[in-house]
Chains A and B, each alone.
Chain A
Amino acid sequence: MNRSRLPDAALSIVSRGAALFVCTVLFLFVGFLIFRGLPVLGSSLFFGNTAALDAILGRRPVWDGLWPATAGTLYLLLLTMLFAILPGVGGGVYLACYANPRQKQWLGLAVDLLAGVPSIVMGLFGFVLIVFLRRTLLPHGTTCLLLASFCLALLVLPSLVVGTKNALESLPERLYLTASALGFSHDRAVFRVLVPAAGKGILGGIILAMGRAAEDTAVIMLTGVVANAGLPAGLTAKFEALPFRIYYTAAQYADQHELATGFGAALVLLILSACLLFCAWLFQRGLEREWRGFK
């Protein structure tokens, strides 16, 4: 082989190896979770001794199952994304399509700083916020689902802003030029052409944000999650969540059955995240097909 081509060939082998490594790690990780979690996956894992329908409808409490934590995680994720998507995607659109270079610099720095905040600090912020509110506007306020999802939204905001900004900035310049030449105003070119065209990249940011929100324990530990609360009674109530359940079980399991339940909870969290991501993908695909007009 020509000596000048040797570094390229080596880099090619390294990149193939890296791809193989990622796939192997993912396969081992998911395989391990399935191996340990699948045997306990069943109705009793979710509902314990309570009848499934009674538990789902909230007619009877579940004392020994994952259902309240699963429902709590689902509410938490949906509320978090409700809080985060508009400012996150909007911030990314502003940075990519409206901000001048100076604003880009300052806002970019702000987003980077927010991205660098450890989740435990974000949890502390939520805790301090509710203490402050108790002393001022909300004397009966307490840590709850609403506070936890608000703090989680702050935590995942940078992923959404950066994902959206990068997706828009990676579009070919001629797309904007074409829309402008056809008479689209700047706003219309941005929202009728560029944002829909960047849909896949924006979805990538949303997936990252959802993944981060689904796994985080530090924030919710200080802002409302508890080990036993049943189904969330409302936005201002305490709640259970799968990541906290996994953390709690890993730290305090008493026997092998309880440990197996922990692995079951981890598998359920993985499946729940995958289902939500699949729904997000289906929704984005539907929007994209509608925008592109393909039939």
Chain B
Amino acid sequence: MEGLQMKFCASVRGLNIHFGDRTVLRDIDADFPAGRVTVLLGRSGSGKTTLLRSLNRLNECFEGYRGEGYVSVRLGGTLHPVYGTDALSLSLLRRSVGMVFQTPNPLPLSIRKNLTMPLSIVAGMGKHEAETAMERALTEVGLWDEVRDRLNRPALSLSGGQQQRLCLARALALDPEILLLDEPTASLDSLAGSRIEDLILSFRERYSVVMVSHSLSQARKLADLVMVMAEGRIDQRLPASEIPEGAEAECFLEKLL
């Protein structure tokens, strides 16, 4: 844990977030270690997803959003404020802080265009460059061999697990430094979920990952650091090694939440 506290990919200070009259996050202070996997655990409604979305300003897409506090992300080795007058441009922030949602959400386009359209529109890549980045990203998530012969088919014709890997590839193609994963295995079967987990483990050296999960065993498998949230606050921070296995895990979870 000592090493983790030294360098962080994102930092949050005094963060309060409200939607209309409802306060979702209360006075959050947190540092997310760089090059590691941080898992946010907690009951539904505890504010995990809102905290995740505060790192790429996605909360602003929802009606009634109000926020106070300071959030910064480390990109290219430098800390940049996420909010305020000297903040990063929204487009650059969201490209560099990639996100994968709970339910696979491919755009209603072909497999190819799901990757190349954001690359050409957001990253300004030419056709050839975008095709190269697409192949690299699809290879990285182990999908290239499965889809190389049907790149012009609808992305929605893929299985749920393949769609989620496609979404992961789409985020990776934009060359992010931080990955936000909002329960990326929640809507998948155990085999497809396990494949995503293996990918996350393989990413830990290259990307800083902040992830929301409901599963203690998943947190133990993937996390370097676990943050337990309740009622909009971070209640505990603990290394994954402190999470027990087997029958004890259930009691531990009950106690935590």
Contacts and interface: CB of A to CB of B under 8 A. Distances in A.
A182 B109 contact: no
B92 interface: yes
A295 B152 contact: yes
B113 A293 contact: yes
A183 B113 contact: no
Interface stretch (B1-9, B33-41, B116-124, B221-229): B116-124
Contact of A197 (B58, B90, B99, B108): B108
A46 B121 CA distance: 51
Interface in A181-207: 181-185, 188, 192-193, 197
A140 interface: no
Interface string A165-181: 00000000011111111
Contacts, number: 69
A102 to B, nearest CB: 14
User: Which of A174, A179, A185, A293 has the most CB atoms of chain B within a 10 A radius of its CB?
Assistant: A293
B107 A175 contact: yes
A3 interface: no
A184 B174 CA distance: 12
Nearest to A178: B105
Dominant SS at the A interface?
helix
A283 interface: no
B56 A181 contact: yes
A292 B110 contact: yes
B122 A293 contact: no
Interface in B157-205: 170-171, 174
B113 A185 contact: no
Interface in B93-107: 93-95, 98-99, 101, 103, 105, 107
Given A180-B61, A181-B58, A294 B122 contact: no
With most chain B CB atoms within 10 A of its CB, the pick from A181, A193, A291, A292 is A181
A184 B118 contact: yes
Contact of B94 (A181, A292, A293, A295): A181
Nearest to A179: B107
A294 B154 contact: yes
A293 to B, nearest CB: 4
B148 interface: no
B105 A183 contact: no
A294 B152 contact: yes
Given A293-B110, A294-B110, A174 B91 contact: no
Contact of A184 (B92, B110, B122, B153): B122
B77 to A, nearest CB: 21
Nearest to B154: A294
A185 B117 contact: no
A208 to B, nearest CB: 24
Contacts of B122: 182-184, 188
A184 B99 CA distance: 13
A192 B91 contact: no
Nearest to A292: B109
B121 A184 contact: yes
Contacts of B48: none
Contacts of A184: 91, 118, 121-122
A183 B110 contact: no
B58 A177 contact: yes
B233 interface: no
B8 to A, nearest CB: 22
A188 B110 CA distance: 19
A183 B108 contact: no
A174 to B, nearest CB: 5
Nearest to B99: A181
A188 B61 contact: no
Interface of B: 56, 58, 61, 90-95, 98-99, 101, 103, 105, 107-110, 112-113, 117-118, 121-122, 152-154, 170-171, 174
Which A-B residue pairs are the 9 nearest by beta carbons? A293-B113, A293-B110, A183-B94, A183-B95, A295-B152, A183-B122, A181-B99, A182-B118, A183-B91
Interface of A: 174-185, 188, 192-193, 197, 291-295
